[in-house]
Amino acid sequence: MGVTIFLAIVFLLVVVALSKTIKIVPQARAGIVERFGKYRTSLPAGLNVVTPFVDKVRYMIDLREQVVSFPPQPVITEDNLVVSIDTVIYFQVGNAVAATYEIANYIQAIEQLTMTTLRNIIGGMTLEQSLTSRDQINTALRGVLDEATGKWGIRVNRVELKGIDPPPSIKDSMEKQMRADRDKRAAILTAEGSRQGAILTAEGEKQAAILTAEGDREALILRAQADREAQILRAQGEGQAIQTVFQAIHDGSPDQSLLAYQYLQMIPKIAEGDANKMWIIPSEFGKALEGLGAAVGSIPLHTDGPVQRVEVDTAPPQLTGEAQTRETQDAVAEALAAARDAATPEVGRSAPGSAPAEPPGTPTPPQ
């Protein structure tokens, strides 16, 4: 029985000794070993053997990069405005021994150093500069912290300002200023848009006017060309018509009676119109009547002295010959009647002091 107890005690002492001898350090950690209260060595990650009951792992230091967020702190700017600033520090322990024995609480030390340095930096800036110069503040703060924490075995990798909160009254003023700036920019943009719109409208109207003028010019040119071509075609048509008539006349071999008949057809047209108060019979009219009289019979014509009247025998002419038809006789008779009617208003009147005019159809005695 006593042997069993002794063996159990020995086994228990062996287990305790092994637990004190073998130390396992996690990855990215460092163990600080002290012997009788004095620093002896640093244990790396993995399995380590120490002297039991003599060496003791006092501290386990985390070697990973750490992130610490500090609460907002009041800071006074150069223009005497109190702003609240909260920061975030990214640091890493590079020397576990220095971080253990050079400073009691390096996190608290970093916090206080950060607030002190931040007050020094912000104190030399105005509120507007502090709001718009975050990168400059971060760089300056990191430089000061890295220099101060180097002897503690700590490396500051990055410093960020989470927020800069001015007083409520300053916020209202800033909002009003921002609103005024936005309204001004909106008014400027509206004015520029209106100006651009007016410019584009004017350019469009100018281009439209130019295109309209060019279109009118082209239309006038085309119209003039069309009129010219029409006149040319009309002149060519008239010329061809004249040539055709002339050729027909030459082909028909007209005599003096046909020419006189055509002359008589033109007499009524001369008297047309309300403005014709007096018309003059040309000298060729007598020759035409003589030729026509020679063809159809006897037409007395008095031409000696002043012309007082013209009398035309309206009896139907007696035409003979195989080439003359009944239709030609009727046409000549109608021409003689039209010539008599047209000549009566002016020529058939008697001059003052002379004998009254004889009725139509009365033969005139030969002289």
User: Comparing C-alpha atoms, which of 275, 301, 305 is closest to residue 290?
Assistant: 301
User: Comparing C-alpha atoms, which of 323, 267, 265 is closest to residue 295?
Assistant: 323
- pLDDT number for residue 169: 81
Of the listed ranges 40-44, 122-126, 226-230, 324-328, the least confidently predicted one is: 324-328
- pLDDT number for residue 248: 75
Check if the beta carbon of residue 18 is closer than 8 Å to that of residue 47: no
Average pLDDT over residues 167-192: 86
Task: Identify which has the larger pLDDT, 325 or 276.
Answer: 276
Reply yes or no on whether the pLDDT at 188 is more than 90. yes
- CA distances for 332 relative to 248, 301, 318, angstroms: 20, 18, 11
Domains of the chain: 20-62 (no CATH), 65-169 (3.30.479.30), 256-347 (no CATH)
The dihedral through the CA atoms of 177, 182, 183, 185 has a sign that is positive
Cα torsion at 35, 38, 39, 43 (round to 10°)?
A: 20
Q: What pTM was computed for the model?
A: 0.46
- Write down the mean pLDDT value for the chain: 76
- pLDDT number for residue 264: 67
Residues 6+ apart with CB under 8 A from 297: 313, 315, 317, 318
Of the listed ranges 15-24, 238-247, 251-260, the least confidently predicted one is: 251-260
Of the listed ranges 84-98, 152-166, 260-274, the least confidently predicted one is: 260-274
- pLDDT number for residue 211: 92
| Residue 340 banded pLDDT, cuts 50, 70, 90 | low
| Residue 349 banded pLDDT, cuts 50, 70, 90 | very low
Average pLDDT over residues 92-109: 89
User: Comparing C-alpha atoms, which of 310, 307, 309 is closest to residue 299?
Assistant: 310
CB atoms within 10 A of CB 56: 17
DSSP string, 228-251: HHHHHHHHHHHHHHHHHHHHHHHH
**Cα angle value 87/88/92 (rounded, 5°):** 140
- pLDDT digits 0-9 by tens, 269-305: 666 666 556 656 656 556 656 655 555 554 444 444 4
User: Comparing C-alpha atoms, which of 69, 86, 85 is closest to residue 166?
Assistant: 85
Task: Identify which has the larger pLDDT, 273 or 144.
Answer: 144
Q: In what order do the strands lie in the sheet with 29-35?
A: 38-43, 29-35, 55-62
Task: Identify which has the larger pLDDT, 138 or 261.
Answer: 138
Average pLDDT over residues 348-363: 41
